[in-house]
Amino acid sequence: MGFSNHLKESIYYHYSPSHKYSVGVESLKNKYYRTNLSYLRLTYLLKRINTKDSQVNVYFQSGIRFDKFHDNFFGLRGDWETRRWYVDFNYKELETNNLTYTHQDYQVGFAPYLGEYGDLHTWVMLKTRTNSLTKKWSAYPVIKFFKGNLLFESGYSRDNEWDIHLMYRF
Amino acid sequence: MSGIYILCIGFKEVFVRKLFTIGLSVIAPIMSLYAEVEEEHDHLNHIHKESIDGDKFDVDTRRFNEFINGLSDMKVAVVSVNGMVCDFCARGIEKTFKRNSEVFKVDVDLGRGKVLIAFSQGTIIDFEYISRKILENGQTATKLAVLEIR
């Protein structure tokens, strides 16, 4: 998984031994502090509700820096989705360079058409986020495409510039 | 007294008959509407097949015919799955079953929440195995029907 925005550029490799959890390594370039670092990450599925037309997920997420154990993060992430609608939240508490802050983002979206299995799928979303350092909220449009095992997501705001997210499922 | 009693029965009969007439006039159009809907249910877009254990199930005809095209002497498992709302998430189901050497083909119908799996004829397909494999990917199997393709 590759990710790039105004704060970081990162590559995240993770492995899921079961649907309940995944472990991985995230190597990132922190653009704010101008440092390169790596996190050992753990994501754990706390709750999943499957219905005929929807799925709800709540995850615990965490990461710890390899070389500085006091640099870490943990939080909750959740989503609700149908084939047409999507809503998610993400809340993290981070400790970096002796600074503790929180990050939160929320996203709502819809699929303009319902593709079949194997088609190109498209989601149009609106994302909003803030952190306790700047205390400023920003909102921006995001578009997500996926086909087969490849997912591409991109958003743009004048404040935060580009958000680019690329994922391949092996 | 008996005259009043007969009069009451007469009123009752008239009342019941009127009630019956009104009821019928309300119910009849609804019933005919329902019958029309049933007639319009033309099975062009889906079929109700019967599995080898006698259960009925609902699949997309075009999709099912495409799936079984070229298959012979096989068993097709039709699995109803909850939580299969996204193509990207359902990819794992296909991968999981394709690891099994007795599986020839897998298809996912996101719209109906169905997974079609073609197994070799000799395979014993049980719901426990199927639901465990579906759960490994995070979804929930709710029903299984097995068809024989000759």
Residues B82 and B103 in one domain: yes
Q: Are residues B76 and B54 in the same domain?
A: yes
The more confident residue out of A1 and A47 is: A47
Query: At B18, which amino acid appears?
Result: K
- Residue of B149, B144, B67, B55 lying closest to B108 (CA atoms): B67
Query: A146 vs B140: CB contact, 8 Å cut-off?
Result: no
pLDDT in tens, B18-68: 555 555 444 444 443 333 333 333 333 444 455 544 456 678 888 899 999
pLDDT digits (tens, 9 = 90+) for B91-109: 999 999 999 999 999 999 9
B36 lies in the same domain as B57: no
**pLDDT tens-digit profile of B74-94?**
999 999 999 999 998 899 999
Q: What is the CATH number of the domain that holds B145?
A: 3.30.70.100
Same domain, B62 and B14: no
Q: What are A's interface residues with B at a Cβ cutoff of 8 A?
A: 18-19, 45, 48-55, 81-83, 114-119, 121, 146-149, 151, 169
Q: Do B37 and B51 lie in a common domain?
A: no
User: 3-state DSSP call for residue A122?
Assistant: strand
Closest residue of chain B to A18, computed from CA coordinates: B136
Q: Say yes or no: B71 and B2 in one domain.
A: no
Is residue B125 located within the same domain as residue B52? yes
Reported for B95-101, long-range contacts at CB under 8 A and 24+ positions apart, including other chains, are B96/B133, B96/B134, B96/B136, B96/B137, B97/B133
Closest CA to A119 of A143, A145, A82: A145
State whether B67 and B112 are in the same domain.
Answer: yes
Whether the CB of B82 is below 8 Å from some CB of chain A: the reply is: yes
Which residue of B64, B110, B132 is the best one to mutate when testing the A interface, meaning the one whose CB has the most A CBs within 10 A?
A: B110
Smallest CA–CA distance, residue A71 to chain B, in Å, is 31
What is the per-residue pLDDT across A48-96, written as a single tens digit (0 to 9) for each? 999 999 999 999 999 999 888 888 999 999 999 999 999 999 999 999 8
> Could you read off the pLDDT of B25-38 as tens digits, one per residue?
444 444 433 333 33
B45–chain A Cβ distance below 8 A for any pair: no
Structural domains counted in chain B: 2
Cα–Cα distance between A5 and A29 in angstroms, integer?
Answer: 11
Question: Do B27 and B55 reside in the same domain of the chain?
Answer: no
pLDDT the model gives residue B59: 83
Same structural domain, B17 and B79: no
Q: Are residues B70 and B37 in the same domain?
A: no
CB contact under 8 A, B111 and A114: yes
Beta-bridge partners for A55: A50, A81
The pLDDT of residue B143: 92
**Contacts A53 to B, Cβ<8 Å:** 85, 113
Contacts of residue B108 in chain A, CB cutoff 8 Å?
117
| CB atoms B86 and A149 under 8 Å | no
The total of structural domains in chain A comes to 1
Q: Both B53 and B30 in a single domain?
A: no
Cβ-nearest to B88 among A45, A52, A146? A146
Residues 6+ apart with CB under 8 A from A22: A14, A15, A16, A42, A43
What's the full length of chain B, in residues?
A: 150
| Residue that wins the pLDDT comparison between A39 and B54 | A39
Domain that holds residue A140: 2-168
On chain A, the residues whose CB falls within 8 A of the CB of B91 are 148-149, 169
A118 phi and psi, to 5 degrees? Answer: 95, -15
Residue B32 belongs to what domain range?
1-41
CB-closest option in A51, A115, A146 to B82: A51
How far apart CA B100 and CA A148 sit, in angstroms, is 20
